[in-house]
């Protein structure tokens, strides 16, 4: 059976080989990489729609995304759904990619989108078995493509994954740029910021987006009303140079961090981070807001988390109801707060949009 709905039956046979030796059969799709081999750290995502937002989220740098929903690409692709200028993931794994999208918004098929952005893919995979394996054994390096199994096995063994790797340097902006309008001024550290985040922030302030490694002294010289720490890929423990700059800014103005920004802020406060067995990747994670007891359904994408060892004066504000992971924190004295999930909902539910209003209130109180 072809992995393309209504597609060509003669698609090249392909294999997905995990670092632990597990092998999955399928067919090659998308862009054909040199030598017929692509590699990265395999993770699974449970969203039923929003695949383009997932693929263009810079937080997936270094990773191969396997979608558990069996039919991907139904509504094609549209520039309006891009979260960055191009996908940063290493590849896509799916059960089936629709060959004929149906949507008035669509400008191309998902297959065309993958080929244009040079993203290799694999279809016809038993993604249920793959997800169960990753849940059991954890996220791990992999290799896939039309190359022989022994070649793929060697590449999977050589792939470093994300542990201890600085991936932010691959996705951050090379130079500052400005967007938005308003009486407030906000500096955004770009660790892999998404377009939807900037859209929300641009409604409340004039936003200056700066490279990840911008010194704290340069930020202070800009005299902003607040600082935003964006999402991004990889292991926060490998980013000590970025943590040092955040630490130098604490107490000077309100700060809000999301995802990787949340993790880096926690490290700057003296907490620790760790790698989750298989991460949180999906649009349906229940998170409890401890101040009200409200349960929010959230969009999430992270393989690392903040340990429950926050220092005195820093309180946990949100918890993941699936596994108890710390999903938010706050320090009133230092005027900072952060969440692990994605309140900008790209893709996903909009339950947590209020977090951007909290940033606006904090900045207004300072100005």
pLDDT for the residue numbered 59: 96
User: Is position 344 annotated as part of the catalytic site?
Assistant: yes
Among residues 117, 133, 245, 259, the one annotated as catalytic is: 259
Give pLDDT, residue 349: 79
Supply the pLDDT for residue 1: 42
pLDDT of residue 345: 80
- The pLDDT assigned to 126 comes to 98
Q: Give the C-alpha distances (Å, rounded to integers) separating 122 from 61, 118, 196, 320.
A: 18, 13, 28, 32
Start-end ranges of CATH 3.50.30.20 in the chain? Answer: 4-158
Residue 276, both tokens: 């989750």
**300: which residues sit within 8 A by CB, 6+ positions away?**
280, 281, 282, 283, 285, 340, 341, 342
pLDDT per position as a tens digit, 304-340: 999 999 999 999 999 999 999 999 999 999 999 999 9
Question: pLDDT band at residue 83, thresholds of 50, 70 and 90?
Answer: very high
Q: Are 359 and 204 in contact (CB under 8 A)?
A: yes
- Please tell me which residue in 117, 133, 262, 342 is annotated as part of the active site: 342
What are the DSSP E strand ranges found in 146-292? Answer: 177-179, 185-190, 206-211, 226-229, 255-258, 273-289
Contacts of residue 333, defined as CB under 8 A and 6 or more positions apart, other chains included, come to 313
pLDDT digits (tens, 9 = 90+) for 115-138: 999 999 999 999 999 999 999 999
Annotated active-site residue 259? The verdict is yes
Fold of the domain spanning 4-158: Glucose Oxidase; domain 1 (3.50.30)
Which residue spans of the chain are classified as CATH 3.40.50.880? 168-366
Q: What is the mean pLDDT of the chain?
A: 94
Q: Evaluate whether 196 touches 157 at the Cβ level (below 8 Å).
A: no
Q: What is the pLDDT of residues 249-289, one digit of tens each?
A: 999 999 999 999 999 999 999 999 999 999 999 999 999 99
User: Is residue 11's pLDDT more than 90?
Assistant: no
In angstroms, the Cα distances linking 183 to 55, 169, 225, 354 are 34, 31, 10, 20
Is 115 noted as a catalytic residue in this protein? no
- C-alpha distances (whole Å) from 303 to each of 20, 62, 200, 233 are 19, 12, 25, 9
Q: Pick the catalytic residue: 53, 83, 159, 344?
A: 344
Q: Using CA atoms, how far apart are residues 197 and 138, in angstroms rounded to an integer?
A: 29
- We find that the CATH architecture of domain 168-366 is 3-Layer(aba) Sandwich (3.40)
Cβ neighbours around 283 below 10 Å, total:
23
Per-residue confidence (pLDDT) for residue 9, from 0 to 100 = 56
- Euclidean distance between CA atoms 259 and 194, whole angstroms: 11
């Amino acid at each position: 059976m072809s992995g393309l709905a209504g597609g060509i039956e003669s698609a090249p046979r392909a294999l997905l080989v995990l670092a632990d030796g597990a092998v999955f059969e399928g067919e090659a799709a998308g862009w054909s990489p040199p030598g017929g081999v692509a590699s990265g750290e395999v993770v699974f995502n449970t969203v039923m729609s929003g695949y383009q937002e997932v693929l263009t989220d810079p937080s997936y740098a270094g990773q191969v995304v396997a979608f558990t929903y069996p039919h991907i690409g139904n509504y094609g692709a549209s520039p309006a759904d891009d979260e960055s200028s191009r996908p940063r993931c290493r590849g896509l794994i799916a059960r089936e990619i629709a060959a004929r999208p149906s949507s008035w918004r669509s400008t191309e098929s998902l297959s065309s989108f993958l080929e244009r952005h040079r993203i290799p893919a694999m279809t016809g995979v038993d993604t249920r078995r793959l997800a169960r394996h990753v849940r059991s054994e954890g996220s791990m390096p992999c290799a896939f493509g039309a190359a022989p199994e022994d070649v793929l096995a060697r590449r999977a063994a050589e792939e470093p994954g994300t542990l201890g790797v600085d991936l932010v340097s691959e996705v951050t902006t090379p130079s500052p740029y400005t967007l938005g309008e308003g009486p407030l001024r906000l500096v955004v550290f770009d660790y892999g910021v998404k377009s939807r985040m900037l859209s929300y922030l641009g409604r409340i302030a004039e936003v200056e987006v700066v490279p990840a490694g911008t010194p704290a002294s340069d930020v202070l010289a800009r005299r902003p009303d607040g600082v935003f720490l964006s999402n991004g890929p990889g292991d926060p423990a490998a980013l000590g140079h970025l943590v040092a700059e955040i630490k130098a800014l604490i107490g000077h103005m309100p700060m809000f961090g999301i995802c990787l920004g949340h993790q880096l802020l926690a490290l700057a406060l003296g907490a620790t981070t760790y790698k989750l067995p298989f991460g949180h990747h999906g649009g349906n994670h229940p998170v409890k807001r401890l101040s009200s007891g409200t349960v929010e359904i959230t969009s999430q994408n992270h393989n690392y988390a903040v340990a429950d060892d926050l220092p005195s004066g820093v309180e946990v504000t949100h918890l993941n109801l699936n596994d108890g992971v710390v999903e938010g924190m706050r320090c009133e004295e230092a005027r900072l707060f952060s969440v692990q999930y994605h309140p900008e909902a790209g893709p996903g539910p909009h339950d947590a949009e209020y977090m951007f209003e909290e940033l606006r209130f904090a900045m207004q109180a300072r100005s």
